[in-house]
Structure 1
Amino acid sequence: MFSSFFSASAPVDPHAPNFHSVNANVPDSDLCGPLEANDLEWTCAGGFATETQTFYAIAEDGRTIMFQAIHSSVGLWYPTIQLNCKVYDSKTGERTWKSVNAANFVTPPPGLDKRSSKSDQFSITYRINPGSEYPESYLLSANVGQDLQVSLEVSRPASAPGWKIGKGEKGGFSYFGPDLEKPEGYVWHKFWPHLKYEGHIIVNGKAQAFSGAGMFVHAIQGMRPNLVASAWNFHHFQSPEHNGVSAIMMEFTTCDTHGKQGAGSGPVKVNVGSVVIGQKLVTVTAETTWPGEERESTVISKTVHLNRILDPETGYKKPSQVSAEWSGPSVLSDAPGTVAAKIGMDVGDIENPRGLMDLVDILAEIPYVLKAAVSYVAGTKPYMYQWINPAKLHITGPDAIAEGLSNGVEVNGQLYTESTFISLIPGAD
């Protein structure tokens, strides 16, 4: 689907657009693309691709779980499979983090389709129950040592369907390179925005029941990670109020190598998100910010880092506060209008962090084959900050969605945030 990273043909016009955003040519009214069955199948792409299935959950007591399976291929090398699993208790600060190479990975496992996978260390089993309140689910199971075992059922409400930006087989894709028919690379995302998590975990030999809400994303980076983006942001808000509210957002910033006028015309910010109220998907948002251009769309999908401070440990300017904003047309036919939401969170400074779960040195955690491909690139030293804090989501929208929504409601919940810095952008402060 993309040209080999060992060789790439130069564009005829060096000033031709060499980045094509996921929401390009997608009307605001059609941003919410329905997922097809094969949208969630493992592709196990060759060449250079990193494919992930990532499940995030937040319990009402503030515990969080991240469960991530990674399929990595680099050129002609044999793919590497990795499982990352993190459990964090925001009340005690206890963090259990395991990252292991998985053996004997297969998809599909016998009797299942490629939405499922299995290895010696974990299994992800897709199940379907048409016509029920929860028509789709995954069973997650992992044994990554005596100090961490996971067994969870992850169920999607019928009223909160999965989505991608745009419809059809090319929905959910941003493409790199001047030729859309033969792109140099791509980024691909499909989401389940609001899920019920039930099950148990075993941490340091102690069994714990786990019940909460969360989301799921299936993603692929079809190019070397350091060429795809200079930074990523991710927000995941969950609340039990109003019968279940969630707001999710994913944003990546391209390197300056990709933009509307070829190399040097970036960086470009691509942001997608959604809001769920009462377990109903109510809006899907997407916004692309091109350097030097004013926005034309009425849809808002953005995140901002405020009061940034240089962190001597990483060399990047980390935020002291983060904010996120969504605004888009309702996707509910019986509740037309605009749904808007805003949230902010104080994450503290270097000496006094607030809700800092982890600061991840990504090169120390990613599979060896990926490390070999990116660790020697000048200016590339990726770090990820992870925070979780209580937060308030301010929402407005049609009263047909929720009583009093037109006057605005304030929803109390937990906001999980990741800010990932991969490389310094030339000219950026």
Structure 2
Amino acid sequence: MFNWAKQKLADVAGTQEPIYGPTAIRTVAEEAKETSHTELTRDDLKWKAMDSTSVETQSFYLMSDDGKHLALAQVIYSNVAGIHTTVQFNSKIFYLDGSKPHLWCSTQLSNHGFSEDKASFYADDCALDLSEDGTNYTIKSLNDKRSIVNLKITRKAPGFVAGKTGNTLYGTDLGNPWGSMRHAFWPRCAAEGTITTPDGPIDFTGKAFYSFALQGMKPHHAAARWTFADFQTPTYSAVLMQFVTPPSYGTTTVTIGGIAKDGEIIIGGVDSTVAHTRTKTDSESEWPEPEAIKFTWSGKTKDGKAVEAVIEGDLGKRLDRVDVMAEVPAFVKRIVAGAAGTKPYIYQYSPQEKKLTLKLKIGDEEISEEGQLFSEATFISEAVTQKGGPVGVGRGKSYFGGPQRMRKMKKDAIRGITRRGGVKFISGTIYNDIREVLIARLKLIINDCIKYVEYRKAKTITVQDVLFTVRRFGQPLYGFDPGTDTEFSLTKKR
């Protein structure tokens, strides 16, 4: 009975899912066994705009040639259970010399839409336009006077997905999956244009990386942790995205990576690794914050040459630590941490005092080239089972090599951690909109529950009253999706 209740609670409230295990996920690595990667066409960059719970992001990471600034420009399209869609434009400027605080701007967009072929996005005072030949994006935003964006990002090497489609699928029937994850990359781009702040325009002529990500399910069920690397040198670009699923899907690790130079993808696919080689416990979040890292890539070129690459070293002083739920009231955070099991934090790095080096071997040729790294480590939920140690790794250590964290509550993530395809800043404005939808819906649920109680001449509302009401509505509220379990009824024993 307790397991049945937990499953229903997960369906209804977005809390931890039952343990389906690794058989309920088919990673993109299965596709990559036959085809390591597939180069992108213009059609591969069209927005999907799903009508079910999903988060879709197009993110551009910029490194100015003068070495003074990093930046993010991003559009996030979020659908909450098919009943509410929110679109956000985000920008963030990092002042690498420490002369100014980082500038983060996030604006909810109005009157959003797409071009006829869904390759370009538009909203009031915002446009993300893909050129007809599919080689460049123009990004314009006038939504926040603190960050007026006017950029052009031009692809310098082919884009790619791992495998044939780039898709990782979730579900107990993988022929009819209930969720998916996909990442598409332009690993090496040229940037031009400006972001204008109150202090004047900042020239972002330099290098860029573009990531197009789609999570076709509740994001907190898709991934528990993320690691991201964007490394740019004068000659090469090395990119990597790794996520680890919650225990619901066997704490499965999926890694997509590639190395490119102008005009060519050297390797792309799933044969990459991440290791946090030194960590410390963050006193605020209690997560094992990385201090040193090692990324590796391996594969074969088109002509069959073996390729091995590594970047390792100290991350230096972190650029930023983002408490994703910082704008949420403390009591709400406690409820979410307890019920949904989440405490999402993002750690951002770009070593400046001691630059890192890409060590690359192509066949018999060995190359070393210093470059600039932008990296993120995101912790959303514990990758451990309810009763035991970590799944798939030795007891006594966390998945990333730090001390094991044994808490009574796991941290299976919340709805919207999807920056780049899973990792997202949740703004207070998004919560305001969702709150309005939830309040209206919950009033209907409560009113119906009262009617049932009065009809039964009972004095209290039970969980089953709520479930019965939600089922009767026949529509999923975000996280409220009781499914089609034909055994469910008010007569089930408590």
Range class of TM-score, shorter chain: 0.7 to 0.9
Q: Distance in 2 between matches of 1:365 and 1:59?
A: 30
Alignment of 1:145-164 (within 5 A): 145-157=144-156, 160-164=157-161
Candidates 123, 126, 135, aligned match of 1:122:
126
SS where residue 24 of structure 1 aligns?
helix
Show the counterpart of 2:110: 103
Change (3 A) 1:93 1:126: same
SS where residue 139 of structure 2 aligns?
strand
Query: Which residue type is aligned with residue 213 of structure 1?
Result: K
Show the counterpart of 2:266: 282
Q: Distance in 2 between matches of 1:246 and 1:16?
A: 32
Residue 420 of structure 1, CA deviation: 0.5
Asked if 1:397 corresponds to 2:368, the answer is: no
Show the counterpart of 1:248: 239
Alignment of 1:183-262 (within 5 A): 183-240=177-234, 244-258=235-249
Q: Distance in 2 between matches of 1:173 and 1:88?
A: 32
Higher strand share: 1
Candidates 33, 44, 49, aligned match of 1:44:
49
Give the TM-score, by structure 2 length: 0.69
Candidates 326, 347, 351, aligned match of 2:315:
347
Change (3 A) 1:178 1:308: same
Q: Distance in 2 between matches of 1:306 and 1:26?
A: 27
Asked if 1:142 corresponds to 2:146, the answer is: no
Asked if 1:166 corresponds to 2:168, the answer is: no
Residue 113 of structure 1, CA deviation: 2.9
Residue 318 of structure 1, CA deviation: 0.9
CA deviations 1:216-253 (Å, max 9, x no partner) are: 1111111212111110000000112xxx3100000000
Quote the RMSD (CA, aligned, Å). 2.5
Query: Which residue type is aligned with residue 414 of structure 1?
Result: Q
Candidates 344, 357, 360, aligned match of 1:382:
344
Q: Distance in 2 between matches of 1:271 and 1:116?
A: 28
Q: Distance in 2 between matches of 1:125 and 1:50?
A: 19
Is 1:231–1:253's contact at 8 Å kept on the other side of the alignment? yes
CA deviations 1:320-343 (Å, max 9, x no partner) are: 101100010113x4xx30121100
Show the counterpart of 2:291: 320
Show the counterpart of 1:271: 255
CA deviations 1:49-106 (Å, max 9, x no partner) are: 0110111111232311111111111114220111110111212353111011111111
Is 2:169–2:181's contact at 8 Å kept on the other side of the alignment? yes
Is 2:21–2:248's contact at 8 Å kept on the other side of the alignment? no
Show the counterpart of 1:85: 91
CA deviations 1:361-385 (Å, max 9, x no partner) are: 122479xxxx999666442011101
Q: Distance in 2 between matches of 1:136 and 1:84?
A: 23
Change (3 A) 1:363 1:16: closer
Show the counterpart of 2:377: 419
Residue 25 of structure 1, CA deviation: 4.3
Aligned residues: 365
SS where residue 350 of structure 2 aligns?
strand
Higher helix share: 2
Percent identical pairs in the alignment equals 30
Is 2:336–2:342's contact at 8 Å kept on the other side of the alignment? yes
Structure 2: gaps (5+ residues): 1-9, 391-403, 405-494
Q: Distance in 1 between matches of 2:334 and 2:78?
A: 12
SS where residue 147 of structure 1 aligns?
coil
Structure 1: gaps (5+ residues): 130-134, 259-265, 287-299, 349-353, 399-405
Q: Distance in 2 between matches of 1:41 and 1:282?
A: 25
Residue 207 of structure 1, CA deviation: 1.6
Show the counterpart of 1:297: none
